[in-house]
Amino acid sequence: MKIGFDAKRAIQNNTGLGNYSRYVIEILSEYYSDNQYILFAPREKENARLKTILSRTNISFVFPHGISKTFSSLWRMFGIKKDIRKNDIDVYHGLSNELPVGIRRTNAKSIVTIHDLIFLRYPEYYKLIDRIIYRFKFKLACRNADKIIAISECTKRDIISFFHIPEEKIIVIYQGCHPNFRQKVSGEKKSEISEKYCLPARFILSVGSVETRKNLLLAVKALKNIPEDIHLVAAGKSTPYQSEVEQYAEKAGLKSRLHILNNVLFEDLPALYQSAAVFVYSSFFEGFGIPVIEALTSEIPVIAATGSCLEEAGGPGSMYVNPNNEAELSKKIIEILTDKNLAKNMIETGKEYVKRFSEKIIAAKIGSEFSELKN
């Protein structure tokens, strides 16, 4: 088959949607190497994370040309149809919530991956114009797609609830994490990373953008009831919410125990995870929660928040707390830190659970959807 991908995020984004896009392209090109994969991107951009993709002979790129190059965003939504037909695409996959307008007028079948509808559940976290644009694009893609991939059961329920899409049109296919997280990091490498980022001796880890929805403040508040030698390290992109977190830490006398790292390199993350004592993900709402998978794969105990889909990501071996209950979080952290058998059991259960997110299993599920559409 000739599979087309919307590759904008794969080229331009280093986290989130970019990671998902690269992940899907890489595993399909490896496990279904007989297919040809054509990546449609509005512009070229150097990205070190594309190394694997660029090395594959069954992958090629299509960029806008002529006047379309000047209006690349419009090309991605409208003009791309001509290039889809020209390249005889069998199935076109919108990897990040969108499909070209009029995709049904090409000869290609279409799939769209919907990651979450948080902008509808929690509109206060988004600008009005963004909510209007997202709603239009996501709903149009869901209606026009031949098949929809939801990255969690939670997202599937939201698609049905908000957009009234028939359940039989949606399939849940989870995302895995990069294989780097399965590699054991040497003590020497951990020491190097510890020195590079000035890490404390014992710490709780949180990974994700430092934004209101991610609720880092809960973990900071929990520090008040945890022994003083335990610190909190948070790795993620900064937003204005970070100032709120830092101001609280200072007023509460916790400033020296909070370490926010805004520019952690992707290749340094496995060492950071494997150096942590506990991983905490207290987000109010997620589409899935890849950092939870990364933590389980890195073999550290996980505490996540209730209220969205994090039980799907964390499985039965992880602990869950109310995202508004700092005392509950403190108690769970202390339990893990003081009970070695509990921590060991959580790690072992997590290792078994994340096998369902292997590249081979996920590639097979997506590949079978492609084959079904083509036939």
Give per-residue pLDDT as tens, 123-164.
999 999 999 999 999 999 999 999 999 999 999 999 999 999
The CATH number of the domain holding residue 111 is: 3.40.50.2000
Distance (Å, whole) CA 281 – CA 185? 22
Interatomic CA distance for residues 355 and 30, integer angstroms: 18
The DSSP 8-state label assigned to residue 196 in this structure reads: H
Number of domains in the chain: 2
pLDDT at 13: 86
Q: Tell me the CB-side half-sphere exposure of residue 287, using CA atoms within 13 A.
A: 23
C-beta of residue 235 within 8 angstroms of C-beta of residue 310 = no
Summarize pLDDT for 245-257 with one digit per residue, the tens.
999 999 999 999 9
Q: Could you tell me the two tokens for 35?
A: 């297919």
pLDDT for 323 = 97
CA dist 106 and 92 (Å) reads 10
Regarding whether 116 and 62 lie in a shared domain, the answer is yes
Asked if residue 189 and residue 170 are part of one domain, the reply reads: no
Are residues 352 and 362 part of one domain?
A: no
**Sheet containing 278-281: order of strands:** 258-261, 230-235, 202-207, 278-281, 302-305, 319-321
Does 60 share its domain with 148?
A: yes
What is the distance between the alpha carbons of residues 27 and 301, in angstroms, rounded to a whole number?
A: 27
**Do 240 and 137 fall within a single domain?**
no
At 303 the pLDDT is 98
What six digits make up the tokens of 182? 């399965």
Residue-level pLDDT at 15 = 82
Query: With contact defined as beta carbons under 8 Å apart, do 145 and 112 qualify?
Result: yes
For the record, the structure tokens of 165 come out as 């899409």
Of the candidates 265, 254, 242, 125, the one whose C-alpha atom is nearest the C-alpha of residue 192 is 265
Q: Please, which residues bridge with residue 206 across strands?
A: 234
Specify whether 27 is located in the same domain as 72.
Answer: yes
- For 277, phi then psi, to 5°, come to -90, -35
Do 34 and 84 belong to one domain? yes
Residue-level pLDDT at 332: 98
- Closest CA relative to residue 61, chosen from 5, 142, 121: 5
Q: State which residues form the domain around 369.
A: 2-176+358-374
State the pLDDT at residue 44.
84
- Contact of 230 with 223, CB cutoff 8 Å: yes
Pair (142, 266) in one structural domain: no
* Chain-centre distance for alpha carbon 369: 21
CA 361 to chain centre: 18
Three-state DSSP at 230 gives strand
**Both 236 and 187 in a single domain?**
yes
Is 123 in the same domain as 263?
Answer: no
The residue type found at 47 is N
The pLDDT tens digits along the chain (375 residues) read 999 999 999 999 888 899 999 999 999 999 999 999 999 999 888 887 888 888 899 999 999 987 777 778 889 999 999 999 999 999 999 999 999 999 999 989 999 999 999 999 999 999 999 999 999 999 999 999 999 999 999 999 999 999 999 999 999 999 999 899 999 999 999 999 999 999 999 999 999 999 999 999 999 999 999 999 999 999 999 999 999 999 999 999 999 999 999 999 999 999 999 999 999 999 999 999 999 999 999 999 999 999 999 999 999 999 999 999 999 999 999 999 999 999 999 999 999 999 999 999 999 999 999 999 987
Length of the chain, please?
375
Neighbours of 120 (CB within 10 A): 17
Q: Report pLDDT for 375.
A: 77
